[in-house]
Each structure stands twice: as structure tokens, then as C-alpha cells.
Amino acid sequence: MTDKSLCDEIYFNEFYTSHIQSASNFAYYKSGDKSTSLDLAQEAFIKIWENCAKIDFSKAKSYLFTVVNNLFLNIVKHEKVVFDYAKSSPYLDVDNQSPDYLLEEEEFKVKLKNAIADLTEGEREVFLMNRIDGKKYREIAELLEISQKAVEKRMSSALKKLRTKIDGI
Amino acid sequence: MEDQKNILKWLNRETSDEELARLQEAKDFKTLEKIAHYASQIETPKVDVETALADLKSRTKNTAKKGKVIPFNFKQVYKYAAAIVVLLTTSYFLFFNNEASFKTEFAQTKTFNLPDNSEVILNSNSAITFDKKEWESDRNLTLNGEAFFKVQKGKKFTVNTEIGEVTVLGTQFNVKERANYFEVKTYEGLVSVAYKDTLVKLPKGTIFKVVNGKIDTVNTFDINENSWLQKESNFKSTALRFVLKEIENQFGYTIETKEVDLDILYSGGFTHADVNIALQSVTIPLQLSYKIEGKKIIIFKYDK
């Protein structure tokens, strides 16, 4: 048992600092909208601050993700999601600089990001939380308040969809 | 199937070197590797934690929270406020409101005594209001319509109307105030009438009449003919429009006229007992005819 309280500014700030980025990312995986993801996350933290007395410190993380999810469902219209790669990202084979290879990889990247955009929300959030945030399945399960089995299921169905989309074209 | 499991394990960074080597032999592992690699390069909006936190603080500052915030319950307050208002107004009317009023409807007269035993007979469609508490020091009342007063001797007695003001000491007199018509008759004693700037003293048997803002010069009347008190109305050289108005007041009808000169002067009277006899006694001498339709009387020129 911890007697840390989120109503205490020190603990709240600590909690905020360590989770704002992943909360914002989570909102982004769901909405694919860069402009609203931080707002959603901020909104969720405000909710937590307002209800700090009711929230157990150990449950706060999954509460945060639940709130983001609810806010997303309430606010964001389901629009086509758009993802982009970071500008300076290395290719898989760093040594191969032949124009053919580079072109091939660029094509692959376009296919991939479109395929990711076509995933269901559930598949996408799990897949990207694993890939981008480097979160383990168990961690994701905890945050989303689902079983680890469910996370693995979403993960493999995401992979299956991505592979058929990319190989099929 | 076995592959699938290992792939998941690999993505979760849990594979041993041995398992990885086996995976790499699979023919489509290259695609998988690319998916895993490039998917992680998708860029998420970078959060500037410092500014974001500062922004959050400023947003929560307004709702600064120390302890639980109990929203102010307006409904509850309205409930009490309404109850207090009701209580205050009823007690006001019960204990503080000294205003007395008497009112008559169409075809109704009322006789009552004022606090000093002065007698008032209120003609139909009229109203009197006065202050009970002030009465002893200031005999002052407001009249709207027509009334006969038999005033006990004492201090100044004042009748206020919209048109003029009548003051007496102790007498019997009649005040009539209808639209554009003001009339005071003195039956006994001396009555002083203030109308605009003029102050007129009316001895017994005189009448003061203002029609459409003009003072009428006719100034005597028969004191034995106290008309409406004997359930009839009497007129002396009065324009027809005022006579008809009085019929409306007495019987509660509305009167419509067709091609009738309303300024024609009428002398005579009508009873309050029967609307037909009353109408006949007004219309026949003026060579007019009438028709009653429900609550409406139509008066028109008599065709020979």
C-alpha cells in the first residue's frame, strides 16, 4: 500500500511527467490526429487532478488511459487516421545505400503506414504501444485493463493484416 | 502456429538467440522485420513536458481546489426565497396594508359607511379606495366612477378623482367621474371643488360639470331629484354620448350607434329597473330606435 496521494502536487507532477508522453501517444494512436492528441491527454490529467481524492495512486495509470479513451470516444469524430515517419530514421539495412534499395524501402514504408491506418483501433493501439513506446504486452494489458491474452490476440491479428496488406499488393 | 507464438515473443523482446535464429530462417521473416522496424519509426507528437505541465497548472488554477467543492444549490435557495416572499407578502397584507377598497360591477350599487360614519353610496361600475389608518387624521379617498356622499361633520373630507378634487367639511353631495365627464352636485352644505387651477364653491342645489375638459355653465339642479339613488339616472342638457355611457354602466351592455349624432343634448332620465324602458325613455324623445342583440345594444335613426 502506498499512501501517495495525487492531490499532493509533488506526486501529481511526478505522475504527470512520467506519463504525459505515453498518454498523448495513446491518444494519437487512436485518433491519428496530431493536433488533438495532447489536448486529450491534458484533459485526462485535469480529470485526474479534479478527482485526485477518489483515485488510488496504484490505479492511476490505467485510469489515465481509460479517461483518454473515453474522451476520444466522446470528442473525436472517426476520421481517416494519418501517420508519418520521423524525418531522420535509419533504414533497416544501414549499409545498403543503393538507389534501388532506398526506393524499395520508401515504397514499403508508404504501404506500411497505410496498412496501419486501416487497422482497427484496438489492434492499432496495442501494436503501436508495443512498437513505438516499447511497452511489453503485460504492461499494455494493465493500462487498457484487458487480459494479456487479449493483447496478444490483437497483436497477432494486427500482424496478420499488415502482412497480407503489404505482401498482397 | 509455433511461428506465430515466437513472433509475438520476439516483438515482446523475449526470444532467446536460438529461437531468433529459427525465426530468421522463415521465408517471410524479412517483411516482418521491416514491419517491426519501420512501424517503430512512426513519429508521435513530442510533448514538451515542462510547458504542458505549466499549461495544465494554469488551467486548473481557476478551479483551485482545497477540499471538496460543493456546488451552490440554487434550486434550494430559490425554494426558501420563494417561501420567504410568500410569508412577507401575506403578512404585509394581513398586518400592514390599511388600504380599504370598495368596488361595484355593472348594474350594482353598494352602500357603506366610512370609519367616521360618513355614508357612501357607490353607483355601478365604480370604485373607492382609502387608507383606514390615516382616515382619522386625513379624510381622504380616491373615487373612480360615481358616488353619493353624506359626510359627517368634522375635519376636511377630500374626494380625489382623476379629473378634479372635491373637499368639504360636512354635507351631502354627489361626485361623478366618467371618461371625459366630471360632475359634482351639492345636496346640503357647501362643497369646494378644485378643478385644474379653478376652485369653485358649490352651495346647496348647485352643480359643477366638466365635459371634455370644458366647464359647463349650467349650475342648478333639483335637489329632490337625487336620481340614481332612487334607481334612475337624470340628465339636464347632457350630450347623448354620456347618457349612453351611463346606460352601459347601469346595465352592463355595450352600445353601438349608427349614424347618430352623439352630441345632441338630452334632458330627462331613465330607470335602472328595466333596460327596455330605459332605452325607450332615451331614444323616443330623440327620434331614435334601438335593437338588443345579446349583450349589445344597437341604436340607429328612426325610419319613418
Secondary structure, 3-state, B145-171: EEEEEECCCCCCEEEECCCCEEEECCC
- State residue B137's pLDDT score: 79
Does the beta-carbon distance from B55 to A137 stay under 8 Å?
no
Nearest-CA neighbor of B44 among A152, A141, A80, A36?
A: A36
- State residue A150's pLDDT score: 94
A154: pLDDT strictly greater than 90: yes
User: How close A137 gets to chain B, by Cα (Å)?
Assistant: 7
Return the residue of B nearest to A154 by Cα.
Answer: B8
Among candidates B42, B52, B55 on the partner chain, residue whose Cβ is nearest the Cβ of A83: B42
A81: pLDDT strictly greater than 50: yes
Residues of B with CB under 8 A from a CB of A: 4, 7-8, 11-13, 28, 31-47, 49, 52-53, 55-56, 59-60, 63, 65, 68
Among candidates A20, A49, A159 on the partner chain, residue whose Cβ is nearest the Cβ of B52: A20
B98 DSSP 8-state letter? -
φ, ψ (nearest 5 deg) of residue B166: -120, 125
Phi-psi region of B196 (alpha: psi -120 to 50; beta: other; left: phi over 0): left
Q: Between residues B107 and A85, which one has the greater pLDDT?
A: A85
Question: Can you tell me the mean pLDDT for A65-71?
Answer: 89
Cite the DSSP H helix spans in B26-122: 29-39, 49-61, 74-91
Q: What residues in A contact B26, CB-CB < 8 Å?
A: none
- State residue B70's pLDDT score: 61
- State residue A138's pLDDT score: 92
Q: What residues in B contact A26, CB-CB < 8 Å?
A: none
- State residue A136's pLDDT score: 92
Q: What is the pLDDT of residues A114-140, one digit of tens each?
A: 899 888 889 999 999 999 888 999 999
Nearest-CA neighbor of B247 among B128, B148, B125, B162?
A: B125
- The complex's ipTM works out to 0.80
A2: pLDDT strictly greater than 60: no
The winner for highest mean pLDDT among A1-15, A28-42, A144-158, B3-17 is A144-158
Say how far apart CA A152 and CA A126 lie, in whole Å: 9
Q: Which residues of chain B have pLDDT under 70?
A: 1-2, 62-72, 96-97, 169-170, 217-218, 222-227, 229-230, 303-304
Nearest-CA neighbor of B204 among B217, B220, B224, B188?
A: B188
Say how far apart CA A37 and CA B85 lie, in whole Å: 52
Q: How many CB atoms lie within 10 A of CB B293?
A: 9
Say how far apart CA B119 and CA B138 lie, in whole Å: 16
Q: What residues in A contact B68, CB-CB < 8 Å?
A: 53
Among candidates B12, B35, B40 on the partner chain, residue whose Cβ is nearest the Cβ of A137: B12
With cell 410568500, the residue in question is B86
Say how far apart CA A107 and CA A85 lie, in whole Å: 13
- State residue B218's pLDDT score: 63
Does the beta-carbon distance from B39 to A159 stay under 8 Å?
no
Which of B7, B15, B33, B47 best tests the A interface by mutation, with the highest count of A CBs <10 A? Answer: B47
- State residue A26's pLDDT score: 92
Does the beta-carbon distance from B31 to A166 stay under 8 Å?
yes
Kindly tell me the burial class for residue A62, based on how many C-beta atoms sit within 10 Å of its own C-beta (0-12, 13-18, 19 or more).
middle
Kindly tell me the burial class for residue B231, based on how many C-beta atoms sit within 10 Å of its own C-beta (0-12, 13-18, 19 or more).
exposed
Alpha carbon distances (Å) from B273 to A164, B142, B276, B277: 107, 28, 9, 8
B94 DSSP 8-state letter? I
Distance of CA B29 to the CA centre of its chain: 89
* Residue A153: HSE in the Cβ half-sphere, 13 Å Cα cutoff: 7
Does the beta-carbon distance from A92 to B39 stay under 8 Å?
no
A1 pLDDT band, cuts 50/70/90, is very low
Three-state DSSP state, B203? coil
Q: What residues in A contact B38, CB-CB < 8 Å?
A: 85, 89, 92, 105, 108-109, 112
pTM above 0.80, yes or no: no
- State residue B132's pLDDT score: 77
Strand partners, B254: B296
Say how far apart CA B134 and CA B130 lie, in whole Å: 9
- State residue B41's pLDDT score: 86
